[in-house]
Amino acid sequence: MKLDFVKETIGVAIAMMMLGLAPLSLAQDKPADNMQILRAKIKADKKLVVATNMELTESEAKGFWPIYGEYQKDLQKINQRLANLLESYAADFRGKSLTDEKAKKLIDEAVAIEQAEAKLKSTYLPKLSKVLPVRKVARYLQIENKIRAVVKYELATGVPLVQ
């Protein structure tokens, strides 16, 4: 399937950047302009992956792309919550200051983020179903899930276990 293109397009740094993150072990030394350029490129690459794999007709594309844009905007809010969660954990990990109370808050927020992501998908299913055949809706969700899986895998490899 064309999704092999994801592996070529989204590597470790790209996966991190999709969430607006740098690896927890690295300092952010790059100027803001370079970060903005990289984020824009990654968004474009993701859109290319979606476009390549969706095989939309012209009329489907007219309905799909505005919804895709809205979804990505809402997904970015969830990504920011995840970034904040990881930054909080990283600070506690580096400072060796993770208490049971802080760990509980991190767990609660991690579960809330997963629930928000599931709710977001549920919210967009009817919108997508109005402009795409059900099989293409399923395909789009598969593509998003695969991309998210790559991102989450890359994030997981950079996050040390709780001590």
Tens of pLDDT, residue by residue over 21-44, are 444 444 445 556 776 776 677 778
* Average of per-residue pLDDT across 1-15: 48
Q: Where are the alpha helices (DSSP H) in the chain?
A: 4-9, 12-18, 32-54, 58-94, 100-131, 134-158
The two three-digit tokens of residue 6, written as one number: 């994801």
* Average of per-residue pLDDT across 86-114: 94
Q: Give the per-residue pLDDT at 26.
A: 40
Asked whether the predicted pLDDT for residue 100 surpasses 50, the reply is yes
Euclidean distance between CA atoms 53 and 38, whole angstroms: 23
Q: At what angle do helices 134-158 and 32-54 cross, to 10 degrees?
A: 140
Q: What's the pTM value of the predicted model, to 2 decimals? A: 0.77
